[in-house]
């Protein structure tokens, strides 16, 4: 039997059957970073860019993306998400994005948190690309997850 749950015994992709799993409280946190030059960061923080308030638009885009994850990732289950919180903050060398997603269900929300961060980062890039095409989206990763059979996970800080 495969260790990858999205593959059957013949190696074919499949959506995992979660119907027998217990309903539990689940939460995931993901993060990402958009690096940019100082002038671009100042533009983003000032809110005077041509496309508007970068932070607010990116946060809303992240929330919307979390809710659409199952439409974007083929084998993800559609979930009744209880909470999505996306935070975009200025940081040294760019903008940091953190997403926290909660549900009560039979499968986790890691993909929803990662999708929220990814789309928020892409939105930041889109809104600022006229000022800095050299921006990079970096370190999109799961920070922690809670709930379900696999238990808790927390990224070790180096």
> Could you give the residue numbers annotated as active site?
126
Cα(27)–Cα(30) distance, integer angstroms: 10
Burial 47-60, CB ≥16 within 10 A → b, else e = eebeeeebbebbbe
Cα(77)–Cα(154) distance, integer angstroms: 23
Within 8-158, strands assigned E span: 24-35, 81-91, 94-105, 136-146, 153-154
Burial of 103 (0-12, 13-18, 19+ CB in 10 A): buried
Contact 40/132 with Cβ under 8 angstroms?
Answer: yes
Q: Helix-strand-coil percent breakdown of the chain, rounded to 5?
A: 30, 30, 40
């Amino acid at each position: 039997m495969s260790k990858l749950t999205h593959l059957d015994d013949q190696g074919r992709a499949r959506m995992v059957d979660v119907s027998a799993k217990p309903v539990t409280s689940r939460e995931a946190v993901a993060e990402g970073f958009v690096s940019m030059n100082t002038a671009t960061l100042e533009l983003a923080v000032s809110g005077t860019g041509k496309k508007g308030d970068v932070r607010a638009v990116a946060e809303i885009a992240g929330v919307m993306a979390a809710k659409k994850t199952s439409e974007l990732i083929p084998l993800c289950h559609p979930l009744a998400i209880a909470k999505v919180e996306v935070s975009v903050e200025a940081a040294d060398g760019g903008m940091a994005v953190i997403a926290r997603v909660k549900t009560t269900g039979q499968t986790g929300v890691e993909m929803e948190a990662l999708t929220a961060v990814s789309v928020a980062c892409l939105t930041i890039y889109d809104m600022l690309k006229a000022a800095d095409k050299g921006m990079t989206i970096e370190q999109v990763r799961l920070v922690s997850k809670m709930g379900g059979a696999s238990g808790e996970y927390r990224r070790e800080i180096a």
